[in-house]
Amino acid sequence: MTTLEEKLGYQFQNRELLENALTHSSCANESRGKLQSNERLEFLGDSILGMVVADHLYRGHPDLPEGELTRVRAALVCEESLVEVAQALDLGSYLLLGKGEEAGGGRTRPSIQADAVEAVLAAVYLDGGIGSARKIIQKYILCREIEGIASPRDYKTALQELVQRESGQVLKYRLVGSQGPDHAKRFFVDVDLNGEPVGSGEGHSKKEAEQMAAKAAMAKLSKK
């Protein structure tokens, strides 16, 4: 835990908050009530992250219209971005997982890593206030602001442009399922090309899941 605190640049007054942030529901369920999952902290962390990023972009870019601000914020707080943060922190090594989730590779599962980042941000906020949380967001997320502005991660548009190189190509996105409570629901989407599945994705919203499906499809089609 001390090493993780050093990477965060923050020392907890209440270590139990950090332990809670790293406790996956699978571990909490196996503990028979001794441990609480990080789902509530994840819910809070998602809002904190969105607010801090939105505030920063609003104040720092008075020239950007609402649509561009929304796009850049989405690029900075998406699952892919949060997984990069988790990897920088080596967060997977500190996660408390149930036996089944551990055996299934949960430490490297993108959704679990991204959720843990949000939970840790909430734990820092509760322990040290918004200023402490803001410093970590600045260090690990807002540092990618220029990348978000210059290189939008709009995989759906990129996929559309790729397949339109040949005439008569038809793309269709299909919602194939969802799971989890309302505050932490995950959506699963497949994308078909001319009726054949070419990519699958998941995310906290249908739009994010479609983007991830488009990204997977691009990777597959680019190899052909």
- The pLDDT, as a whole number, for residue 137 is 96
CB atoms under 10 Å from CB of 142, counted, come to 18
- The pLDDT, as a whole number, for residue 40 is 97
- The pLDDT, as a whole number, for residue 146 is 60
Nearest by Cα to 83 from 107, 53, 103, 48: 107
Spatial contact of 22 and 36, defined as CB atoms under 8 Å apart: no
CATH 1.10.1520.10, the chain: domain bounds: 2-150
Spatial contact of 78 and 154, defined as CB atoms under 8 Å apart: no
- The pLDDT, as a whole number, for residue 223 is 66
Residue 113 tokens, joined:
């890593």
- The pLDDT, as a whole number, for residue 64 is 78
What is the CATH class of 155-222?
Answer: alpha beta
- The pLDDT, as a whole number, for residue 6 is 95
Burial code of 30-52, b = ≥16 C-beta within 10 A, e = fewer?
A: beeeebebbbebbbbbbebbeeb
- The pLDDT, as a whole number, for residue 152 is 47
Say what the pTM is: 0.68
Residue 196 annotated to the active site:
no
Q: Helices 130-140 and 110-128 meet at what angle, rounded to 10?
A: 140
Backbone dihedral region of 30: left (phi > 0), alpha (psi from -120 to 50 degrees) or beta? Answer: alpha
The Cα 197–Cα 223 span in angstroms is 15
CATH 3.30.160.20, the chain: domain bounds: 155-222
Q: Which residue in this structure is represented by tokens 């219209």?
A: 65
Phi, psi of 177 (to 5 degrees): 165, 170
Task: Specify the CATH number of the domain 2-150.
Answer: 1.10.1520.10
Tell me the pLDDT of the chain (224 aa) as tens digits: 889 999 999 999 999 999 999 999 999 999 888 899 999 999 999 999 999 999 999 998 887 788 878 888 888 898 888 999 999 999 999 999 999 999 999 999 999 999 999 999 999 999 999 999 999 999 999 887 665 554 445 788 888 888 888 888 899 999 999 998 877 788 999 999 999 999 999 988 888 899 889 989 988 886 65
The catalytic residue among 42, 79, 118, 210 is 118
Which DSSP string corresponds to 50-113? HHHHHHHHHHH-TTS-HHHHHHHHHHHHSHHHHHHHHHHHTGGGG-B--HHHHHTTGGG-HHHH
The catalytic residue among 46, 101, 115, 190 is 46
- The pLDDT, as a whole number, for residue 12 is 97
Residue 46 annotated to the active site:
yes
